[in-house]
Homo-oligomer: A and B are copies of this chain.
Amino acid sequence: MALNDESLQELKAELLDELAKEVPSKSVLSLRLAETRSADIGEVLEEMIEDDEELPAALALLDILSAERAANVLGYLPGESQLEVVGKLDDSQVLKLLEEMGSDERADLFNLLNEDRREALLRRMAHREREDLKRLASYEEGTAGAIMTSDYVSIASGMTVSQAMMRVRQTAPDAETVYQLYILDSDGQLIGTMSLRQLMVARPGAIVDDIMIKDVISTRVDSAQEDVARIVAKYDLLALPVIDADERMVGIVTHDDAMDVAESEATEDFHKGMSIGQLEDGVSRVKLWSLYRKRVFWLVLLVFANLFSGAGIAYFEETIAAQVALVFFLPLLIGSGGNAGAQAATLMVRGMATGDVGVKDWGKLLGRELLVAGSLGITMAIAVTPIGIMRGGEALAMVVALSMVTIVLFGSLLGMCLPFVLERFKVDPATASAPLVTTLIDASGVVIYFSIATLLLTGL
């Protein structure tokens, strides 16, 4: 069964207890680790590594594991924790670990090391390994190249089914997946694909070229990782082949890595939706200074944007001074408009991220928003009218109700349109965050509310 938090804590305590003994029993520890999954060991180690006092224990445990298992466990740790561990090991230990890691994880870790360490490690590698690592490490973060692995099963064009099957058995130990096979011509160009399932039911003497699927779904090495995740999800792929500018195959992105990308992209969008920049690590681990910087930028920018609301108020100071009761409804009105607008913006931003909403749908969605936001505005105006009458009489109630409809409708349309405008100007639509949208609506709401008040109340 999968371990829950509690059993993970028990496991951790057990391991620490054993290690705290004068002569820890290596066989007890080995046994306990052998029966635990790498992902779970990873979670326990991650906690230990964070805690300076427990770090030696984490290193001792990694030392007990075989190099292959240790590399596997390391792959489940966030980059920062991997770096912490590698910092305590000498070059030959690191080399052994790198050798056993998947080629994608190897490149990720390598990219985190400092220049000197990288040079030292590269010098001790075989030529082929070195070139492969340098190539994988060179792809820009956030692209297909940076998340792909070069450990896939390639089949040469012209092979028979039984030759291909032999090749699968040979490559099985190292490949990330053996269930999808890629057929390459003599130039290394990707000309077809087939599943192991297809291969298994094919006639042994058949040529793979005759049974492969020729129209392969693939992606370019420089395409954005969120597009990679979307293709894998849309076509239910086990792995997506990656090709370079010359259509030569350079790697695959497996379904599990695509799922991880989708999750981290969603997290990034959640944060963007509140005007938080991209964090390098989880919120509980990221450095405080970084968290501050990623939050402060928009907050301060919006302080100045908020001055427009203040300016609006200053402009209507006379109206306000004449009827201070107006202020009572100010937070309510601009707050309601902001909420409705943030809803509309989020619906569009998420729809665009999942591919449900496209730029071409703009007209249709505008019409829909007009109807829905109008109904919302009227409902909220009805809700607020009795309070308006109670607080300031019928005239004030009319001002408030009218303002409510106008502000909610205006705010919703603004929130809905902003992501499309941003997309149009090649800015990430997720920039239409709740704080930005509500700040814009605050300023407009002030003007709308006090304009209506000045118009209707000064005549009465």
Query: What residues make up the interface of A, taking CB atoms closer than 8 Å to B?
Result: 1-2, 5, 35, 37, 39, 168-169, 172, 178-179, 196-197, 200-201, 215-219, 231-238, 255-256, 258-260, 262-263, 266-267, 269-271, 273-276, 282-284, 288, 291-292, 295-296, 298-300, 302-304, 306-307, 309-310, 313-314, 317, 320-321, 324, 327-332, 334-336, 338-340, 342-343, 346-351, 354, 356-358, 360-361, 364-365, 368, 371-372, 375-376, 379-380, 383-384, 387, 391, 434-435, 438-439, 442-443, 446
Contact = CB atoms under 8 A, between A and B. Distances in A.
B361 A2 contact: no
Given A2-B217, A282-B356, A327 B331 contact: no
A284 B442 contact: no
A332 B347 contact: no
Contacts of A275: 339, 343
Contacts of A298: 339
B336 A376 contact: no
A438 B380 contact: no
6 contacts: A238-B255, A270-B349, A270-B350, A282-B356, A284-B364, A321-B321
A292 to B, nearest CB: 5
A274 B434 contact: yes
Contact of A361 (B267, B284, B309, B351): B284
A391 B343 CA distance: 34
Given A5-B358, A288-B371, 9 more contacts: A1-B217, A236-B256, A283-B356, A283-B357, A283-B365, A306-B331, A306-B332, A313-B328, A438-B438
Contact of A321 (B270, B302, B324): B324
A346 B310 CA distance: 27
Given A266-B266, A288-B368, A342 B179 contact: no
A346 B271 contact: yes
A1 B196 contact: no
A2 B446 CA distance: 48
Contacts of A342: 274, 434-435
A443 B335 CA distance: 11
Given A235-B2, A275-B339, A342-B434, A259 B258 contact: yes
Contacts of A299: 336, 339-340, 343, 376, 379-380
B351 A327 contact: no
Nearest to A42: B234
A162 B53 CA distance: 52
A234 B306 contact: no
B274 A256 contact: no
